[in-house]
């Protein structure tokens, strides 16, 4: 029993934005897309402002399905050009990248600051979905569950 107490304490002390990781070798607070590779499925949501209705709709949908996102190791990454007043999600696993990394991500995917876009990356770092509108949870779940890596994950004991 004493071995479990530190583990439980460690889980309870996790940052509010991140509750699941693909394996123990994965960073709990990845700061770059490179650190997320083979660990998470980044969901990049590019938005012109923190109050953009499309960003708020996508974030709300993710929050309503936070358990699904954790099971599938989806990590929500808001890439917001003008982030003043941004309120992070309540339950969805997320990470806020620093300004330099946000600029790098925006340049890599060639998304101008005034454009809204959603990109789902696989654990391999490749684009699996690209949309100019918020994406439904059912669409995300179906797409992720069709991925070979996800099929393997679901076969593991205690699979999500």
The domain that holds 27 is classified in CATH as 3.40.30.10
Average pLDDT for residues 71-82, to the nearest whole number?
A: 95
The answer to the question of residue 5 being in a domain is: no
* Secondary structure class of 98 (helix, strand, coil): coil
CB hemisphere CA count around 132 (13 angstroms): 4
> pLDDT higher for 22 or 119?
119
The answer to the question of residue 84 being in a domain is: yes
H/E segment holding residue 117 = strand 117-121
The answer to the question of residue 58 being in a domain is: yes
What is the count of structural domains for the chain?
Answer: 1
Task: Determine the Cα–Cα distance for residues 28 and 36; give it in Å rounded to an integer.
Answer: 10
All residues at 6 or more sequence positions from 155 whose CB lies less than 8 Å from its CB, including other chains: none
The pTM score is 0.82
Length of the chain equals: 160
Could you tell me the residue range of the domain that residue 54 belongs to? 17-155
The answer to the question of residue 100 being in a domain is: yes
pLDDT exceeds 90 at position 90: yes
Q: Are 112 and 145 in contact (CB under 8 A)?
A: no
pLDDT in tens, 135-146: 999 999 999 999
The answer to the question of residue 43 being in a domain is: yes
The answer to the question of residue 46 being in a domain is: yes
**pLDDT on residue 152:** 74
> Exposed, middle or buried by CB within 10 Å (0-12, 13-18, 19+), for 96?
middle
The answer to the question of residue 11 being in a domain is: no
Task: Determine the Cα–Cα distance for residues 58 and 48; give it in Å rounded to an integer.
Answer: 14
The answer to the question of residue 7 being in a domain is: no
């Amino acid at each position: 029993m004493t071995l479990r107490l530190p583990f439980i304490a460690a889980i309870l002390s996790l940052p509010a934005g991140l509750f699941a990781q693909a394996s123990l070798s994965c960073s709990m607070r990845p700061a770059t897309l490179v650190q997320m590779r083979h660990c998470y499925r980044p969901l990049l949501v590019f938005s012109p402002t923190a109050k953009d209705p499309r960003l708020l709709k996508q974030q709300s949908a993710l929050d309503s399905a936070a358990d699904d996102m954790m099971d599938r190791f989806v990590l929500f990454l808001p890439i917001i050009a003008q982030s003043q007043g941004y309120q992070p999600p309540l339950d969805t696993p997320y990470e806020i990248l620093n300004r330099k990394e946000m600029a790098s991500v925006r340049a890599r995917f060639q998304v101008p600051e005034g454009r809204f876009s959603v990109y789902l990356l696989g654990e391999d770092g490749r684009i699996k979905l690209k949309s100019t509108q918020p994406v439904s949870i059912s669409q995300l779940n179906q797409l992720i569950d069709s991925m070979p890596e996800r099929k393997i994950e679901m076969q593991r004991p205690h699979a999500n």
